[in-house]
């Protein structure tokens, strides 16, 4: 047994085993549960889902775990952490219930933290009162190409930063007929897809403020399907985002930024980094040449690394980079985008 101190609260953990519960057995829930089961120091001790079929599958795949259809089924199981992997609109009520029932202090949630800033701020305060480790699943921070870009920016290879263009595209709803309600169930493209590239931009540049915004509700009334918005920061950096889940020919979601500085341009996406300094031949780093290896590959190396950091943070007592508090600005930016869009209606 080891004793860790979280913000003044002492918690006893098994040094050899972190026992976790999973809420939500959709695509993300299954992936995280399977990844966590490959960690020698992690035990998937409980799984929760409303679907009888998914519970049946879970009982076969995780024979030693408690499988339930309600969070109350997690009580008394001595869990060290809970993963919330349900659709975004449900995050707030589930996490609030976890804290209210005293199930665990350590919570991982897939992005975004909640569907609105005030709820996210409330959960930040609750989590800090509980004194545990929190993490929001912004896995792009764990991509080798984006980390390479971050290092180059920290070395100030571009000189003074002037502007950037950012995008997040997918084909998820490219062929969905007008009138469908499918997109609304995922909370809108700005949360589901755009939040990743907003988080990257906040991670790279910090303290962004929203300026102009345009939202296209193409699929149904009030849905958020294509969004463009501009930002600035206190240093005078200008940025623009384009986000859409209706783009053709994006079999997998794609994220990228093109950053302009006084000494050149830095382009980065999921697959490569390109540095084009003024008067020099561009230098490229490709993902497959960047030792992008992990202990078990499922869904992408980034997912393994973020799980690894969360588990290590629980054992070591140090907050991960993408904690509730550190990613709260993403939720604020998304809310500002919506507010500015509504001002034009």
pLDDT at 221: 65
Is there a contact between 196 and 140 (Cβ–Cβ < 8 Å)?
A: yes
pLDDT at 319: 86
Which residues contact residue 97 at a Cβ distance below 8 angstroms, ignoring those fewer than 6 apart? Answer: 71
pLDDT at 313: 96
Domains (ranges, CATH) in the chain?
A: 2-138+310-316 (3.40.50.720), 144-291 (3.30.360.10)
Provide block-wise average pLDDT over 10 residues at a time, the chain (345 residues): 38 66 97 97 97 96 96 96 96 97 97 95 96 97 97 98 97 78 69 94 94 78 82 95 92 95 98 97 96 94 97 92 95 92 67
Residues in the chain: 345
Gap between the Cα atoms of 258 and 39, Å rounded: 36
pLDDT at 341: 79
DSSP label at 71?
G
Q: Name the 3-class secondary structure at 114.
A: coil
Residue keyed to tokens 């697959």: 271
CA distances from 248 to 166, 169, 174, 224, 263 (A): 18, 9, 6, 17, 34
pLDDT at 173: 84
Which residues contact residue 155 at a Cβ distance below 8 angstroms, ignoring those fewer than 6 apart? Answer: none
Is there a contact between 314 and 133 (Cβ–Cβ < 8 Å)?
A: yes
What does the block give as tokens for 136? Answer: 């929001």
């Amino acid at each position: 047994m080891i004793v860790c101190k979280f913000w003044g609260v002492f918690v006893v953990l098994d040094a050899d085993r972190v026992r976790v519960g999973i809420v939500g057995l959709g695509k993300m829930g299954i992936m995280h549960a399977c990844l966590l089961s490959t960690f020698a120091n992690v035990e998937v001790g409980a799984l929760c889902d409303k679907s009888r079929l998914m519970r049946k599958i879970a009982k076969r795949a995780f024979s030693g775990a408690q499988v339930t259809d309600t969070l109350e089924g997690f009580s008394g199981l001595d869990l060290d952490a809970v993963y919330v992997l349900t659709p975004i609109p449900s995050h707030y009520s589930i996490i609030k219930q976890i804290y209210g029932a005293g199930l665990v202090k350590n919570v991982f949630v897939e992005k975004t933290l909640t569907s609105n800033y005030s709820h996210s701020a409330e959960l930040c305060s609750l989590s800090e009162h509980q004194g545990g480790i929190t993490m929001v699943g912004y896995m792009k921070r764990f991509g080798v190409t984006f980390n390479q870009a971050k290092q180059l920016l920290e070395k100030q290879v571009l000189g003074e930063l002037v502007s950037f263009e950012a995008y997040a595209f997918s084909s998820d709803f490219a062929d969905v007929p007008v009138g469908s309600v499918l997109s609304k169930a995922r909370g809108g493209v700005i949360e589901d897809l755009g939040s990743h590239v907003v988080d990257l931009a906040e991670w790279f540049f910090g303290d962004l403020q929203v300026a102009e915004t345009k939202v296209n509700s193409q699929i149904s009334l009030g849905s958020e399907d294509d969004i463009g918005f501009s930002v600035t920061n206190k240093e005078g950096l200008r940025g623009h985002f384009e986000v859409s889940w209706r783009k053709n020919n994006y079999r997998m979601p794609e994220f990228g930024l093109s950053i302009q500085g006084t000494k050149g341009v830095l382009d980065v996406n999921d697959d490569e980094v390109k540095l084009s300094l003024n008067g020099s031949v561009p230098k490229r780093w490709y993902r497959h040449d960047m030792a992008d290896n992990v202990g078990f590959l499922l869904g992408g190396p980034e997912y393994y690394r973020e799980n690894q950091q969360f588990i290590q943070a629980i054992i070591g007592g140090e907050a991960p980079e993408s904690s509730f508090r550190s990613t709260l600005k993403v939720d604020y930016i998304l809310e500002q985008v919506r507010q500015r869009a509504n001002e034009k209606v």
